[in-house]
Structure 1
Amino acid sequence: MTNDSGVWIRRASTAAGLAYTAIAEYELARRLGAAPAIAAMLPISIDCYVVAALKWFRALDVFLSLALMGAAQVCAHALDAGVVTVSLDLVAVVSLLVPIALWRTHALARQTPRDAEDAVPSPTVPSVPDEKGLRTASTPGTDEVTLDRLDEQDADGTPELPPGTQQDAADADDGPPPEPPLMTSAQVAERYGIAMSTVRTWVDVGRLTVHTKDARNRSLFHPDALPEQEAVRS
């Protein structure tokens, strides 16, 4: 059976049951002296309670709503069959059906949304590493922060570097200075105040030495290998 079939079966069963019992409840109220418009309130109040109890399916309210409906049915059919007559006890029982149904219907309507909201778990925020590699995790509504690498910090609050990092940094300071960037033909021409064609000519005659070629086969010159202005022009 599909879910749609189950839904329609439940709806049809509820509609048929409410329609059948509503007639007897209405006639019961009329036999007890209620006007037509007032008599209709008895089946409406009981049926609303039954629908609410079945919708939110609280065991106590399902039992109580069906018990109220059953009590009204017994009183109506017993009165119609002449088993009982209109009396103070009968009027008292029927008169209490509506207040009880009203109380429990509103109690269900007020409690169920709050319970459903409380049942939803709070979303959790995954931990995200920050710029220093410290992983933080927080939950909405709290200011709690967890540092996974807090124990790796020094006394002054500086995170401890991986083994060998500090020594490597010290060794780098003692090493040779970085190589200067290579110069293009245009930069060499600007340095000497000459045209680029002159740079090519000086390369051909040996005044300038090409250090290497780039991917586009352009000549690149090392700054330290370039002669002084006076030497190159002599």
Structure 2
Amino acid sequence: MSNLNQVGTWVRRGSLAAGIAFTATAEYELARRLGAKPPIAVMLPLALDCYVIAALRWFRAFDIFLSLTLMGAAQVAAHALEAGVLKVSLNLVTVVSLLVPISLWRTHALARQTPRAATRPATVPPVQPPSSGLPEKTSGGAEVTLDRMTEQDATETPELPPGTGQDVEGAPRLLTSRDVADRFGVDPSTVRSWVASGTLEVHEKTPRGHNLFHPDKLPQEARS
């Protein structure tokens, strides 16, 4: 499947590069025949090609149709002038002059609409440990189920910064569940299960009910 995706990607890129290379020359010559100087004449194929790339990149049907129509109109006009079928006229100059503003408008419209939809934060459900329905025995004989641990996860808010504690001079900074989990290399839910089983001692609680731990009361291997 990955090989097919790579082939499709390179086919699209090759097609786009060939189309731009073929049409850009005629668009440049069209601008030159209408009196534009070389540095300015380059802007016609550049504006059209950027619009085509944006339309194909974000795959908007209307813009794909419009961008290719504008590109095709420029091609027809360029080759008709070269063959002598058309002559420079006010109508032709007006039509060609409108190609760049239209391309500019639609390119910026695509660029403003698509990233806003792409960066909209998705609603991600909270990750909860799988419930086996079996109670776990604690050291004191009490039963602590995973459902109770899940309820405690819901009340534990992640906005507590690392190192939360009293800023009293000489007093060690208390640790949150996340701090302790980082020291042990485990998930915060594991720290809460240690608290429930009595393996880990809670030094105090915040006004909102969050656990705080004294660094000197952690197991020796967790201190750092």
Match of 2:32 among 20, 30, 33: 30
Higher alpha-carbon Rg: 1
For residues 46 and 56 of structure 2, what CA distance do their matches in structure 1 show? 15
1:125 partner letter: P
d(CA) in 1 for partners of 2:151, 2:5:
49
Report the identity percentage. Answer: 64
What letter is aligned with 1:106?
H
Alignment correspondent of 2:8:
6
Deviation at 1:117, TM superposition (A): 2.4
Residue of structure 2 in register with 1:91 after alignment: 93
Distance in structure 2 (CA, Å) of the matches to 1:74 and 1:94: 11
Q: Which residue of 1 aligns with 2:122?
A: 121
2:67 aligns with one of 65, 68, 90: 65
SS in 1 for 2:25: helix
Higher relative contact order (CA 8 A, sep 6+): 2
- The amino acid of 1:14's aligned partner reads L
1:196-221 CA-partner distances (Å, limit 9, x unpaired): xxxxxxxxxxxxxxxxxxxxxxxxxx
CA distance in 2, matches of 1:134, 1:93: 67
* TM alignment of 1:96-111, pairs within 5 A: 96-111=98-113
* Structure 1 residues 109 and 130: CA distance shift in structure 2, 3 A: same
The verdict on how the C-alpha distance between 1:34 and 1:123 changes in structure 2, with shifts beyond 3 A counting, is same
SS at match of 2:88: coil
Q: Where does structure 1 differ by over 6 angstroms across 4 or more consecutive aligned residues?
A: none
Aligned to 2:17: 15
What's the counterpart of residue 51 of structure 1?
A: 53
**Structure 1 unmatched runs, 5+:** 141-234
SS at match of 2:36: coil
Displacement of 1:45 after TM fit? 0.5
Instruction: Give the TM-score normalised by structure 1.
Output: 0.54
- Tell me the secondary structure at the aligned position of residue 2 of structure 1: helix
Question: Which amino acid in the other structure matches residue 113 of structure 1?
Answer: P
Q: Which amino acid aligns with 2:122?
A: P
Letter of the 1:49 partner, please give it.
Y
